Structure 1
Amino acid sequence: MTGLEDTDGNNDTPNMQSLGNAMSKAVKEFAQCSLLENENSFVTQKIREIKEQSVKFQEYANESIDQSDKLSKYAEEVVVFAVACADPSFTKEELIDFLKLTLEEAKKNKAKTEELKANISDIMTKLVNVQNESVQYSNDIQVNARAMNSSVVNELENREFEQKLLRTAYKVGAGAAILGTTASIIAAPLTGGASLAIPLIESIVEGGLIMAGATGVIAIGSKYAYNNRNNEINALNRQLIIERDELITQICSLNGNLSSIIHESCDILNFWDEQITSLNDLIVKLERFDGNNGERPSRLVTLTIQKKWNNVSRECKDYNRTMRAALQVSNMVTSE
């Protein structure tokens, strides 16, 4: 055997159409993420990080198109080599020279493929980190809505601080008024005046009616303002919960887009893994053929090679058309 036979029954050619489909879906999901807008600083930062990876993915997509062009040309060379192997007019020396060139190109393709695999792996890792951080943030604000960086939170805390001051002012004013009222009752020329002071004071406090001059006015005003702030705080708390729930919904939508991109990136990563394996197998077979001193493969083997690698050239061209169209639709296309 020459080493070019497909003895394990595996197809050594990459499925470029599957790669094109995965890449196109990822491009569309990136575009969806880029359309999201939010005033929350955390979400805004995550969207910014996704856009950064979107730019890198654009660069990666264009590099993959270039590599697809090279792979298409290489596929044509492999086909020509297979035809030459079956043509007796080519000498053994010519076949060996042709073989060495084909083998060299296979190694170059493998090196570029490994680079593309590393690039998509890095993008995928960054997106996974963004998703994990978003999920954690969503969980945090679900437990504590005030963990959000929101103007509502700031306003709510300001109202609570004011309420605390008003509560203090109310207590101080009430205390002063109570003392004044108590003094008046005790000083009254009534028998048992002191014994009437305590129940009267309690009724005054419970009713919120402090009538002891200036201190009484302060207490009444402070209590009114305190109650007003309390209503405002309740309204802000309700507003905060609504804002929190809307934000969690947006984060869930964002994570949905990220999950799709990550899923497609896994498919892309797997593709490049398979491509590396396929090219490595081809390199081994070509080296084995070289070690057999250029022994010609059978006609059946050469026909199989032609069929497989003719499909590669066609699929590469299909992939390029699919990717360019996807980039144009998503406004991510670069000038050629």
Structure 2
Amino acid sequence: MFDFFTKVKQMTGLDDKTGKNDTLSMQALGNAMSVAIQKFTKCSKLENDDNFISGKIQEIGELSERFRKYVNESINQSDKLSKYAEEVVIFSVACADSGFTKEELLDFLKLTLEDAKNNKADTEKLKANISGIMAELINIQNECVQYSNNIQNNARSMSSHVVNELEDREFKQRVYSTTYKIGAGAAILGTTASIIAAPLTGGASLAIPLVESIVEGGLIIAGTSSAIAIGSKYASYNCNNEIVALNSRLIRKRDELNTQINLLNGDLSSIIHESCDILNFWDEQITSLNELAVKLEHYNNQDKERPSRLVTLTIQKKWNNVNRECKEYNRTMRAALQISNMATSD
């Protein structure tokens, strides 16, 4: 709007491209961003045959893609906010210059106020997006902790093929055990019947020890029924050994899974913690925009009142900082994304 924009930029240092105005908060934000992306990449590459945990890893991978999309959107918004900050500083300088008429300032004021409201709305959307991602990460973390507690108390609550194998073996053992009892009973009846058919004096003395040997040792000597009983008892014995081995394997698998869950939760906690810094950055920008809108609304409603030199200097200083922070945000975010792309391609 004004011919002196370029000159004002030089006066206020807005055309500085040396990067000397980097702030510690932006450095911390860049580190937080890099850590969050690295942790996301690490979590997304995990593999696990537990159905529940593999499902959570897939959800984390989807959130990782949303997070990267969010970062690119935030860079675009930060770029817009940086350019807007330049306009705000230029407006504050113009307000202190008596060479500009009230009408000119009022026109610029209305445009600046409208842009403040639009930028505030867009920035609040960014804040809501990162808050939503954080909420979903916290939910996944809580579900993983609950799952870890459940399998610690009952290893069979794991969504694992080991549990299926174990229950299959136990079912077969019950079948073999039932078959053995039926076969043994049939053999006992057959043998006893033959003994009873013998002379009374000899049969009675042989029946009791023979039945005891059949029951205790599984020694069946009564045709097909005896063969079924012997085979069933042998199969049941083998199943029992497999069950013992599978139970040991299940406990080891549970302990290994809980170790991995703890590591996963640690990475999720790191992402959530670092995301708080990103959230705080946009909170600060919303606060700055809100404060500016209040000031601009005041002067927009007071057509005859011109902002004081002190007010314009305060706005200038504040929004010079916003401009530098947004530019540095863009640099740090792009660098973090580049590092992440390199790590992903390895």
TM value normalised by structure 1: 0.85
Change (3 A) 1:176 1:146: same
Q: Say if 2:285 and 2:322, in contact at 8 Å, map to a contact too.
A: no
Change (3 A) 1:294 1:48: farther
Q: Deviations along 1:76-135, whole A, 9 cap, x unmatched?
A: 112212222222222232222222222122112101111112222222232233223323
1:242 is the counterpart of 2:252 = yes
Q: Say if 1:95 and 1:294, in contact at 8 Å, map to a contact too.
A: no
1:178 is the counterpart of 2:168 = no
Q: Say if 2:138 and 2:272, in contact at 8 Å, map to a contact too.
A: yes
Q: Which residue of 2 aligns with 1:5?
A: none
Identify which of 68, 80, 102 aligns with 1:70: 80
- Counterpart code for 1:174: A
- Counterpart code for 1:69: D
Cα deviation for residue 285 of structure 1 reads 0.7
| TM alignment of 1:4-19, pairs within 5 A | 16-17=26-27, 19=29
Change (3 A) 1:17 1:36: same
- State the identity %: 74
How many Å separate the matches in 1 of 2:331 and 2:304? 38
How many Å separate the matches in 2 of 1:87 and 1:75? 19
Cα deviation for residue 230 of structure 1 reads 0.7
| TM alignment of 1:1-336, pairs within 5 A | 16-17=26-27, 19-189=29-199, 191=201, 193-293=203-303, 295-331=305-341
- The count of corresponding residues between Structure 1 and Structure 2 is 320
Cα deviation for residue 17 of structure 1 reads 5.0
How many Å separate the matches in 2 of 1:246 and 1:323? 36
How many Å separate the matches in 2 of 1:300 and 1:280? 19
Cα deviation for residue 16 of structure 1 reads 4.9
Q: Which residue of 2 aligns with 1:12?
A: none
Q: Say if 1:99 and 1:286, in contact at 8 Å, map to a contact too.
A: yes
Cα deviation for residue 18 of structure 1 reads 5.0
Aligned with 2:179: secondary structure?
A: helix
Aligned with 1:330: secondary structure?
A: helix
Change (3 A) 1:275 1:80: same
Change (3 A) 1:45 1:246: same
How many Å separate the matches in 2 of 1:220 and 1:43? 44
Q: Say if 2:34 and 2:340, in contact at 8 Å, map to a contact too.
A: no
- Counterpart code for 1:178: I
Aligned with 2:201: secondary structure?
A: coil
Q: Which residue of 2 aligns with 1:11?
A: none
TM value normalised by structure 2: 0.83
Which deviates the most, 255-264 or 183-192? Answer: 183-192
Which deviates the most, 120-129 or 67-76? Answer: 120-129
Q: Say if 1:58 and 1:332, in contact at 8 Å, map to a contact too.
A: no
Q: Say if 1:23 and 1:323, in contact at 8 Å, map to a contact too.
A: yes
Cα deviation for residue 323 of structure 1 reads 0.6
How many Å separate the matches in 1 of 2:97 and 2:325? 27
Higher RCO (C-alpha 8 Å, min separation 6): 1
Cα deviation for residue 164 of structure 1 reads 1.6
Gap runs ≥5 in structure 2: 1-24
Cα deviation for residue 251 of structure 1 reads 2.2
Cα deviation for residue 221 of structure 1 reads 2.1
Which deviates the most, 202-211 or 320-329? Answer: 202-211
How many Å separate the matches in 2 of 1:93 and 1:31? 54
Cα deviation for residue 318 of structure 1 reads 1.4
Q: Say if 1:16 and 1:312, in contact at 8 Å, map to a contact too.
A: no
Change (3 A) 1:294 1:97: farther
